[in-house]
Amino acid sequence: MPTTLADLDAMSIDEANALPFEERDRLLDLIIADGRRQTTDEVSYRKGLYGDYFEEDQVRMLKVRAIKVLPRGTTSSGFDGAIVGETDEEQYRAAFRHLQTTLEAAGTSYERVVSLQIYLTDMDKWPLLNEVYREFIHNSPCRAVLGTTGLAQKPLTIEIVACVAYKVAG
């Protein structure tokens, strides 16, 4: 059984594809961690918030049979259209919980998210977003937070517009 990425790299695609799901799943976490990059080693205010870029090693991804998961845009409104949360903080938390539900239904998690794009209707609330974000995100994906004048429903304050995650095919 391979235990490192070097072991995986030495295997053919067919050999790696024949590994048990659990081993391929464990290796995917190593591949994602290895692909996360920072431009500099300097510590900045953004520590833990986002990475500078992600290098997708397609050969390694093929070897573990990784597939990309692209959830829809997610807001704080429920499937019934009702807004969840009366404050910005409650709406932010609801949007992240809704995305978490989608990721889990797809067979992945925030740990395997490599890119996020978020719209806020009030960029003055960026520090608040970061507080809530840290509750859900522990491995810093590439991230962009953009201000907008409005979303699909007037009272919405956040939309997680784009998300890229990975999982291992069964």
- Three-class SS of 70-127: CCCCEECECCCCCECCCCHHHHHHHHHHHHHHHHHHCCCCHHHEEEEEEEECCHHHHH
Rounded to whole angstroms, how far apart are CA atoms 158 and 149? Answer: 11
- Tens of pLDDT, residues 114-141: 999 999 999 999 999 999 999 999 988 9
- Tens of pLDDT, residues 45-97: 666 677 888 999 999 999 999 999 999 999 999 888 889 999 999 999 999 99
Residue-range definition of the domain harbouring residue 16: 5-168
> In this predicted structure, what is the pLDDT of residue 46?
62
What pTM, to 2 d.p., does this model score? 0.91
Mean predicted lDDT score pLDDT of the chain:
93
Using CB atoms within 10 A of its CB, is residue 58 exposed (0-12), middle (13-18) or buried (19+)? Answer: exposed
Instruction: Give me the CATH number covering residue 112.
Output: 3.30.1330.40
> In this predicted structure, what is the pLDDT of residue 2?
72
Q: Into how many domains does the chain fold?
A: 1
pLDDT tier, 36 (very low <50, low <70, confident <90, very high otherwise)? very high
pLDDT tier, 154 (very low <50, low <70, confident <90, very high otherwise)? confident
**Average of per-residue pLDDT across 144-157:** 91
CB 1 within 8 A of CB 49: no
> In this predicted structure, what is the pLDDT of residue 41?
73
